[in-house]
Amino acid sequence: MKSARPRVDDYFGDWKQREALVQEMIPVIGRLFSQRNVGVYIYGRPVHNRSVTFIMKSHRFVRQVERNEMSEFETHPILMAMAELDLWHARIDLGKLTVRFMELDAKNPGAVSPAVFVRRELSYLDGVRKRPSDHSTDVVLYGFGRIGRLCARLLLERTSTGEDMRLKAIVVRPGVEGDLVKRANLFTADSVHGAFQGTLRVDEENNSLIANGNVIKVIYANSPDEIDYTRYGIDNALVIDNTGKWRDEAGLSQHLQSKGVSKVLLTAPGKGELKNIVYGINDDLIEPGDKIVTAASCTTNAVVPVLKVIQDEFGIERGHIETVHAYTNDQNLIDNYHKGARRGRGAAMNMVLTETGAARAAVKAIPELSGKLTANAIRVPVPNVSMAIMNLTLGRETTRDELNEFLRDIALHSNLQNQISYTQSEDAVSSDFVGTREASIVDSIATVAGGNNCVLYLWYDNEFGYCAQVVRTVYKMAGILYRHYPREEAAA
C-alpha cells in the first residue's frame, strides 16, 4: 500500500521528475503557439511563454481547487499526443482535457491510451486550418499610461504567428528630448507588475519601439485629427483609447475621422447610448457594424460577472457594493487642489471616501437589477489590487457552503472561468493577486451567508485584470473567433 505521506527525500525526487517533464513540455507548447497559433491552457491559465515554475504552480492550483490528483505525470502524455495531431488556430485547455481522460481511465483503467483518447476528443480540431479571422487587424493604442502599457504587454503576448492581430502604433502627446527612451523604460520596468517578459529595442531614427520583433510606430499628436495612419502602413485599425479624455460618441468619433481607423474601444465607462461591455456577460451585444464600444470600468468588470451568476442562481432583491480601491493617478501624492471632493488629500497617507458608478454600470449590463443596487468606494494607500465587498439580500435562503461551492464550480467549469476565479487561502492578501487575469477572485474564506443574506469579498487587479478584459473585447470587436476545447468554454 502506498504511503499517504512520502518521505521528505521522496518529495525532492518527485519534484525533479515533474520539473523534467515540464522542461520537455515547454518547447512543445511553444511550437504549438508560435508555429500553429494553438494556445495551451490549464484551467483557463495560459501556459505558453511561461516558466517551469509557473506551469508547475498551475498544476498545483488545479489540485487544490479542483480537488483531484492531476499532475505533470498526467498532462505530459496528453500534450505529447496533442503534438502529433494537425492542430491549428485553436485554444485548448490541457488541464480539462487531462482531467477528462483521468475520469474515463478511472472507470476502465487502461482501456484507452492517451493518444487514442486525444485523437478522438480533438477530432473536430484535427486538420482544420481555417484562420479565426479572414484578415489581420491593426491595433493602435491612443495613450500609453498605466492601462495602455499593460494592454501592450497583453497584445504582444498574444501575438503568435501575427496573422490575426498586430499592435502597430502608439499615440502620445509631443514630449521632451529623450521622450521615446523614457516611454520605453516605463514599458519595460513596472514598479507593480515587474519587468516586461520580452525584448524591446528603441529605434529613435524611425520613432519606433521593436517589441518581440513587432515594429510599433510611436506617433506624436495632440488630437486624432492630426493623424493619417495610412502613412504608417496602418489601415482599418482598431483604436484603443485609454486616455479617458472623451467618453461620449461625439468625442470618440474624432478617431473615426482619422484616415485608416475603422473602430474605437474606450477603456472607461461610456456616456449616452454607447454600449458598455463586460466581456463574458454582454459581449454578445457587440455587432460587426459597431464603430464605438466601451469596456466599462475595472470595478464594473469585477462585480458584474459575480452579480450575474448570483442573480441567475439565487436572485437578488437588493444589495450594496463597497469597493476598497487602490489609489490611482487621478489622486494627489500629497495634499493639493482637486476638483473632486476629498480626492485632493494625499493618496499615500489617507483612506479617501469617494463615489463610484459601479452600481449604475452594473445595471446597464444586468437590467433586472435596476433600482436594487447602491455603491460607494474607499480609496486606500496601495498602488494596485482592490476589493469589492458585496452585501446582498437574495431571493432565497442559502448557506456559506452552498454559495462557495456554487462559485467554485463557476470559476472552474463555466464559460466565465476567465472572469471569475476562486481562492481558499486563509492567508491571502491583496499583493497576492497582482497580475491576475481574471476580472475578480472570490475569497471563499471570507464569505458570510445566513438565511437569504450574504456578503461576498472579491479581489481584483484593477489594472492587469481589467486590461485582460479589454483585450478580450478587442478580439471580439475584431471578429477573431478561435475554436476551443472544451467546446462550450472560451479560452480568451
Q: Which residues are catalytic?
A: 298
Cell numbers describing residue 150: 499593460
**Alpha-carbon span 139 to 235, nearest angstrom:** 9
Cell numbers describing residue 132: 479565426
Instruction: Collect all residues with Cβ–Cβ distance below 8 Å to 263 and sequence separation of at least 6.
Output: 237, 238, 239, 290, 291, 292, 293, 477, 478
CA angle 367, 369, 373 (to 5 degrees): 130
**Alpha-carbon span 465 to 154, nearest angstrom:** 11
Handedness of CA 250, 253, 255, 259 (dihedral sign): negative
Dihedral pair phi/psi, residue 364, rounded to 5° = -60, -35
**Alpha-carbon span 443 to 400, nearest angstrom:** 12
Distance (Å) of CA 359 to CA 67, 278, 355, 375, 449: 35, 14, 10, 6, 22
Instruction: Collect all residues with Cβ–Cβ distance below 8 Å to 106 and sequence separation of at least 6.
Output: none
Q: Which residues pair with 203 in a beta bridge?
A: 208
**Alpha-carbon span 330 to 237, nearest angstrom:** 29
